[in-house]
């Protein structure tokens, strides 16, 4: 892509849906002085004739940035990108401004007025396109073993599959022999004894394979690097750290099965849990099993249906083993009727042959344990029945993920969901945004399941790794450049690593000090929360930078009426519901100019302050509902603090806090979106435009400067909307304290910014400075003294016993 700007603007009539509501000739007229290479109006640019026409123009005029004024970019972008690829236009070079849903369909104003709004949005898009930078994707190598961490059973299968395809792997496991693995199997997969022979086969292959190195599972010190080049540090018993390098990581973590709570049942030796039984089965001692009736009672509804199903399956399989090996025992499974036993016809035949009883009970009525009997209500006749037992077995409950998990979670983008279930980052991308899956997480810690399922997961992970290798061999393993860290600006504070939800920003070894971070763009989601929080503004989302957004907002602001406002909508909840408002035929006032961003978390705080500095009357933000639906985990919660800081600064400057507001909508709630817009517009109508006098301007300048200050950005970056928080860091004891601490920081930095602004015009002594700033002298003298001491301002001379301060470095 040439850096010379050649923007082609293609306006869509959409069969009258746009052209009847917006006067497109007027739009072209309003854009006449903008620097475009081509501007045309087309009936349907998205259909074949339209696409051909665009391609012809691109080639004839050497256009390298395409702007389409049409309908939703979420839906249409792919079509244009695919069609224009043949003339060398890439995805980021196509910008779609949604004239239909943001302007034409939702406002009642005249076509001439709407043309002005359309022109403003297009001018914004042009400003953003102008700042595009060419970039080259990075080709990755993929050599070395696969590191299988976590010690789960699925890891063995993965290693086996990899070895069969000639790929090396290093397996870290607690159990160093096949026998140990089998002995401990029932701790994670009770009831899977019948698979032991198959499992033994796999393990034998793994332990004898020259391509698999089984290493002891020493405590993890660090995991650094990225796809193709991971390095794992393990703390050795002698205290040293050994590093193992590998191309990919498979995390195999299983959930341990805890013993069931059977104390409340009592019954001494006659009552046991599944794990006890499994131990005894493992030893295979006939004397351990007295003849009589053994009832497996599947209870523990609190662990969910899946756990019950698993327990019932385990009970069924153990019954099979008992029936074969210990025929003196008559097993029976009593399971709740709300679960289904996935048994085949052959299983049922076997059950009959061995006399294994299968009985369901109505889960609404809790069975009662008596000495020698359990009474339960049968779902078929609603009568209470009794079943006799000599041994009662209560299944254990799925417990916590293996202890290894805590070490791994620190370093990998795996999160603990409610219920202790571990999950890979729940960020959902559009599939074409993801290069390849590059982190593999398997095992029952991700969800209650049986051994079979887990082995399949292991195989799948191995296939994924082999795909990566295949791609690398063909030279197609390419990492897109999504996020770039400027090494000169990065001070290595690590804030980005802490807040990154996708594991895209590299960890560094503990104790290696402030080293610049690098990004693993294979994992990066491009959410941009990191870029917007970086205290030193060292991170940029390539071709979706804060500078581009700033340029866009500025261009829109330049064309806005004084009573209009800006609306930032996130690419998921906000944008989708805004567009759906148009589909549903809803209307709202045309005074709001929508600027879509990927996630509100990617909205740099300085954009908000810049908009006010450029005279916007009010700003509304619409994002997804915090926590449960933000696609980038906590993006919207981070943004909340920026809005909050902006409100505080506005009130420090004597302006109304309500000029800023943030709201939350889901993708299919257009009515809520319209209500939000109307309410904010109403509030704004009652307010005067921003005062344009020099004093207010100076304050707004200072607010903008404050938003660029590393200390403020650090405080904003570490803050997260946590209304339910009970514990606060450091000396802050409660929510009010924490808020006041933040207010103090903002106040101080705001004053510093104002001092800079005043001193920029002319050197001043403290009383004159106080007069210029409209502040009591006592408020600014301590700050001035500090600033002079730190050398941020200089003392130029003395006058009437006062120092005269000026800008400059000491």
The residues of the shown chain that bind other proteins, judged by CB under 8 A, are 15-16, 43-44, 46-50, 52, 71-72, 74-76, 78-79, 428-432, 572, 576-577, 579-580, 583-584, 625, 629, 631, 664, 666-669
How big is the CA angle at 263 (ends 257 and 264), to the nearest 5 degrees? 115
Residue 55 near residue 84 (C-beta atoms within 8 A) = yes
Could you give the CA distance from residue 85 to residue 111 in angstroms, rounded to a whole number? Answer: 34
Residue 103 near residue 12 (C-beta atoms within 8 A) = no
Q: What is the CA radius of gyration of the chain?
A: 33
Could you give the CA distance from residue 34 to residue 119 in angstroms, rounded to a whole number? Answer: 10
For residue 734, how many other CB atoms are within 10 A of its CB?
12
List C-alpha distances in Å: 402 to 149, 169, 180, 193, 366.
12, 22, 16, 20, 31
Could you give the CA distance from residue 580 to residue 381 in angstroms, rounded to a whole number? Answer: 51
Q: Which parts of 474-528 fold into alpha helices (H)? A: 495-499
Q: How does strand 793-799 pair with strand 802-807?
A: antiparallel
Residue 155 near residue 253 (C-beta atoms within 8 A) = no
How big is the CA angle at 628 (ends 726 and 401), to the nearest 5 degrees? 75
Report phi then psi at 325, rounded to 5.
-95, -25
Identify the three-state secondary structure at position 40: strand
Residue 220 near residue 407 (C-beta atoms within 8 A) = yes
Tokens of 96: 């779609």
Identify the three-state secondary structure at position 91: helix
Q: Which residues of 60-96 are buried (b: 16+ CB within 10 A; e: fewer)?
A: eeebbbbbbbbbbbbebbeebbebbeeeebebbbbbb
Tokens of 56: 């012809």
The owner of tokens 């709407």 is 114
Closer of 192 and 662 to other proteins (Cβ): 662
Could you give the CA distance from residue 684 to residue 561 in angstroms, rounded to a whole number? Answer: 13
Dihedral (CA of 694, 695, 699, 705) sign: positive
**C-alpha count within 13 angstroms, C-beta hemisphere, residue 21:** 23
Could you give the CA distance from residue 10 to residue 31 in angstroms, rounded to a whole number? Answer: 12
**C-alpha count within 13 angstroms, C-beta hemisphere, residue 431:** 0
List C-alpha distances in Å: 222 to 250, 276, 408, 762.
15, 37, 9, 53
Strand order in the sheet with 660-664: 592-597, 565-570, 619-623, 660-664
The owner of tokens 């409950």 is 397
Tokens of 179: 């026998």
Closer of 154 and 580 to other proteins (Cβ): 580
**Distance from chain centroid for Cα 294:** 49
Residue 316 near residue 341 (C-beta atoms within 8 A) = yes
Identify the three-state secondary structure at position 700: helix
Residue 12's contacts (CB-CB under 8 Å, 6 or more residues apart) are 18, 42, 43, 44, 45, 46, 50, 68, 69, 70, 71, 99, 100
């Amino acid at each position: 892509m040439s850096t010379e700007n050649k923007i082609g603007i293609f306006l869509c009539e959409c069969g009258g849906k746009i052209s009847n509501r917006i006067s497109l000739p007027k739009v072209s007229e309003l854009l006449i002085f903008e620097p475009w290479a081509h501007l045309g109006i087309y009936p349907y640019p998205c259909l074949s004739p339209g696409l051909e026409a665009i391609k012809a123009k691109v080639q004839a005029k050497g256009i390298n940035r395409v702007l389409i004024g049409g309908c939703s970019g979420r839906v249409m972008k792919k079509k244009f990108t695919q069609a224009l690829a043949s003339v060398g236009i890439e995805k980021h070079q196509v910008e779609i401004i949604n004239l239909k849903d943001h302007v034409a369909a939702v406002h009642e104003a005249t076509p001439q007025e709407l043309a002005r709004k359309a022109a403003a949005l297009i001018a914004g898009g042009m400003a953003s396109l102008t700042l595009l930078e060419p970039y080259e994707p990075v080709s990755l190598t993929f050599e070395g073993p696969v590191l299988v961490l976590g010690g789960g059973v699925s890891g063995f299968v993965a290693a086996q599959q990899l070895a069969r395809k000639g790929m090396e792997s290093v397996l870290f496991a607690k159990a160093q022999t096949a026998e140990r693995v089998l002995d401990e199997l029932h701790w994670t997969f009770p009831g899977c004894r019948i698979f032991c022979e198959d499992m033994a086969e796999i393990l034998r292959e793994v332990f004898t394979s020259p391509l698999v190195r089984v290493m002891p599972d020493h405590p993890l010190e660090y995991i650094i690097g990225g796809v193709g080049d991971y390095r794992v540090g393990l703390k050795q018993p002698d205290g040293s750290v050994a590093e193992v390098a590998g191309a990919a990581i498979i995390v195999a973590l299983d959930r341990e099965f805890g013993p069931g709570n059977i104390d409340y049942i009592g019954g001494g030796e006659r009552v046991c849990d599944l794990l006890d039984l499994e131990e005894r089965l493992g030893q295979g001692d006939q004397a351990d099993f007295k003849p009589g009736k053994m009832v497996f009672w599947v209870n523990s509804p609190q662990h969910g249906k899946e756990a019950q199903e698993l327990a019932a399956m385990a009970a069924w399989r153990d019954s099979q083993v008992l029936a074969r090996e210990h025929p003196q025992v008559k097993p029976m499974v009593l399971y709740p009727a709300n679960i289904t036993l996935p048994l085949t016809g052959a299983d049922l035949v076997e059950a009959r042959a061995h006399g294994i009883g299968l009985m369901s009970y109505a889960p609404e009525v809790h069975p009662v344990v008596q000495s020698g009997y359990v009474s339960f209500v049968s779902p078929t006749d609603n009568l209470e029945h009794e079943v006799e037992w000599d041994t009662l077995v209560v299944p254990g409950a799925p417990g916590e993920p293996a202890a290894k998990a805590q070490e791994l979670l620190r370093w990998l983008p795996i999160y603990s969901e409610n219920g202790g279930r571990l999950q890979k980052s729940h960020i959902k991308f559009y599939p074409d945004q993801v290069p390849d899956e590059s982190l593999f997480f398997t095992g029952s810690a991700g969800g209650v399941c049986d051994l079979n399922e887990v082995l399949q997961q292991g195989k799948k992970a191995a296939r994924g790794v082999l795909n990566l290798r295949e791609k690398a061999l063909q030279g197609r393993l390419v990492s897109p450049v999504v996020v770039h860290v400027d090494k000169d600006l990065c001070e290595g504070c690590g804030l980005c690593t802490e807040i990154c939800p996708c594991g895209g920003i590299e960890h560094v070894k503990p104790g290696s000090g402030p080293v610049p971070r690098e990004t693993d763009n294979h994992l990066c989601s491009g959410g941009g929360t990191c870029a917007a929080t970086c205290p030193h503004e060292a991170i940029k989302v390539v071709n979706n930078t804060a500078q581009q957004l700033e340029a866009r907002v500025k261009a829109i602001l330049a064309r806005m009426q004084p009573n209009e406002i800006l609306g930032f909508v996130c690419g998921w909840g906000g944008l989708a519901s805004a567009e759906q408002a148009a589909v549903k035929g809803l209307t709202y006032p045309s005074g709001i100019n929508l600027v879509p961003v990927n996630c509100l978390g990617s909205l740099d705080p300085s954009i908000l302050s810049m908009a006010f500095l450029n005279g916007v009357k009010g700003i509304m933000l619409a994002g997804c509902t915090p926590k449960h639906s933000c696609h980038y985990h906590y993006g919207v919660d981070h943004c909340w603090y920026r809005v909050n800081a902006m409100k505080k600064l506005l009130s420090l400057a004597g302006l109304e806090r309500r000029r800023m507001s943030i709201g939350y909508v889901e993708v299919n709630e257009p009515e809520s979106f319209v209500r939000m817009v109307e309410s904010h517009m109403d509030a704004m109508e009652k307010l005067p435009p921003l005062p344009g006098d020099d004093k207010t301007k100076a304050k707004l300048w200072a607010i903008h400067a404050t938003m660029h200050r590393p200390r403020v950005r650090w405080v904003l970056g570490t803050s997260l909307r946590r209304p339910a928080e009970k514990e606060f860091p450091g000396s802050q004891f409660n929510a009010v304290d924490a808020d006041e601490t933040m207010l103090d920081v903002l106040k101080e930095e705001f004053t510093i910014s104002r001092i800079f602004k005043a001193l920029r015009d002319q050197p001043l002594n403290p009383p004159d400075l106080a007069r210029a700033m409209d502040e009591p002298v006592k408020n600014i003298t301590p700050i001035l003294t500090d600033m002079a001491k730190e050398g941020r301002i200089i003392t130029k001379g003395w006058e009437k016993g006062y120092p005269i301060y000026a800008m400059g470095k000491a």
